[in-house]
Amino acid sequence: MDIKAPRGVRDILPDESWRWAYVLDVTAKTMADFGHSEIHLPLFEQTELFSRGVGDTTDIVEKEMYNFTDRGGRNLTLRPEATAGMVRAAVEHGLCAQGAASRLWCWGAMFRYERPQKGRYRQFFQIDAETLGVSGAVADVEVIALSAEIFRRLGLRNLEVVLNSVGCPKCRPIYRDKLLKHFSAHKGELCKDCLVRLDRNPLRLLDCKEPGCGAVANAAPAIYDCLCDECAAHFEDVRNGLSGLGFRYTLDKRLVRGLDYYTKTAYEILSGDLGAQNAVCGGGRYDNLSESVGGPHLPGVGFAAGVDRIVLIMEEQGCSFGQCPQKEVYVVAQDDTPAVCNAVLSLTHRLRMEGIPAEQDAGDALGKKRSAKSQMKSADNAGVTWACLVSQDESHNIVIAMKNMNTGEQTTARPEEVARRVKESYNI
């Protein structure tokens, strides 16, 4: 076929999808343990939500969004991230109306027009948790602890929590000026992109990956001396909270994140086993996001973690994904008489209703039944424990030979006995 999946977009095939299901199961349980309720958000939103919320000088909005106009002339965007949509939904449905924290989570596909490579795709999946409506540092600590706990339960090793504060609109301009001065004195060493960023958003120079810019950024002043009293106290509280829980973290003055809405806390969790795409999770506080998209004051803090990258690391580290769903029984028709075919159909259905994964031959592409021999081959390939060979005896009774594919042992059974016998074999 000439038509292939679009560049940067991949199919998650059956041999991988069960691993994703495991990651999402563990995530869902952890989210529930931390008091987060799941919501499902739309995959596209009004473009304005992202251009105003994420910020129109960010890479995401400038270069990475999938924008389109629908038949009604509306400007829409495939979501590049979930936080803005979460805040939009919480405001639209009054989820924070009581004045208490609203803890939410969601997962699903995000879309960014990026250069595809290992761990970086144009459609990728994120797990996203947000605590909305509270401004205190406890929520920041909880959110960081939640992300770390998901990774702990998944068995990920070699992770590093990196923390910073990006200040607030009160103190950030002072820091911005300091940075502007510093970077302007080193213009000759900066890449083309950073020269443009210098005027628009000098904080973004801090996380440029170009070696020349990196060296200048390493020598740049840290934000800590510029933080206002409120931001400094908040940062202190977050650090004390994390230490109190026994979390190890590293301070990184260059951590600024690629979205404009962050205030105060910014953090990432990095993996030593991901190469260039080393961020598994990123998040922080965004006290002004709601207002920047025309909503009420609604402080929030949250994180997003990449499912594609989590699965990649888990595979590389040999982590357990639980049990791959097993096929238990293959029901084989010994001949193609109507009585036998009906018995195969009904036995297979009966086993499935008992919760026993069962398969049968559904014929080939031309609608022809396959021989008993090739059905046995399929049973073998499927790795089932039991093959149930269905036939008729001389008095036209249906008889079933149950073959244990592990031991080769074979016994006969009546159709109504098969499910019980299979279940009994689990307990051996």
The contact set with ligand ATP (CB under 6 A) reads: 81, 112, 114, 119-121, 124, 126, 258, 277, 279-282, 304-306, 308-309
Which is closer to ligand ATP, CB of 31 or CB of 343? 31
Q: Tell me the C-alpha distance between 104 and 31, whole Å.
A: 9
**Helices 14-33 and 307-316 sit at what angle, rounded to 10 degrees?**
110
CB of 121 to ligand ATP, least distance (A): 4
HEC assignment per residue over 72-122: CCCEEEECCCCHHHHHHHHHHCCCCCCCCCEEEEEEEEEECCCCCECCECC
> Rounded to an integer, what distance in angstroms lies between the CA atom of residue 317 and that of residue 83?
30
Least Cβ distance, residue 282 to ligand ATP (angstroms):
3
Question: Rounded to the nearest whole angstrom, what is the least distance from the CB of residue 153 to ligand ATP in the complex?
Answer: 17
Minimum distance from CB of 210 to ligand ATP (Å)?
A: 14
To ligand ATP, the closest distance from the beta carbon of 401 in angstroms equals 50
Comparing CB distances to ligand ATP, the nearer of 194 and 304 is 304
What the block records as the tokens of 177 is 């000026």
Give the C-alpha separation, 260 to 59, whole Å. 10
User: Of the two residues 311 and 402, which places its CB atom closer to ligand ATP in the complex?
Assistant: 311
Nearer to ligand ATP, 304 or 390 (CB): 304
DSSP conformation letters of 196-211: HHHHH-GGGGGG--SH
**Shortest distance, CB of residue 120 to ligand ATP, whole angstroms?**
4
CB 57, CB 260: distance < 8 Å: yes
Q: Residue 364 corresponds to which amino acid?
A: D
Nearer to ligand ATP, 260 or 359 (CB): 260
Q: Cα separation of 78 and 66, whole Å?
A: 5
Smallest gap from Cβ 173 to ligand ATP, in A, equals 23
| Contact predicate 275/209, CB 8 Å | no
**Cα–chain center distance at 185:** 41
Give the Cα separation of 217 and 195 in Å (integer).
13
Give the DSSP letter string of 313-371: HHHHTT----PPPPP-EEEEESS--HHHHHHHHHHHHHHHHTT--EEE----TTSPPPP
Which one, 278 or 378, has the nearer CB to ligand ATP?
278
User: Measured from the CB atom, is 9 or 376 closer to ligand ATP?
Assistant: 9
3-state secondary structure of 174: helix
Query: How many CB atoms within 10 Å of residue 142?
Result: 21
Could you tell me the two tokens for 67? 């924008």
Q: Least distance in Å: CB of 64 to ligand ATP?
A: 8
Closer Cβ to ligand ATP, 62 or 236, answer by number: 62
Give me the numbers of helices (H) and strands (E) for the chain, helices first please: 14, 16
d(CA 53, CA 64): 15
Contact 110, 124 (CB under 8 A): yes
Provide the minimum distance between the beta carbon of 147 and ligand ATP in the complex, in angstroms, as a whole number. Answer: 10
Indicate the residue whose CB is closest to ligand ATP: 306
CB-nearer residue toward ligand ATP: 22 or 262: 262
Distance in Å, CB of 133 to ligand ATP, minimum: 22
Least distance in angstroms from the C-beta of 23 to ligand ATP: 12
Q: Whose Cβ is closer to ligand ATP: residue 167's or residue 282's?
A: 282
Residue 112 or 172: the one with the smaller Cβ distance to ligand ATP is: 112
Strand order through the sheet with 66-69: 44-46, 75-78, 66-69
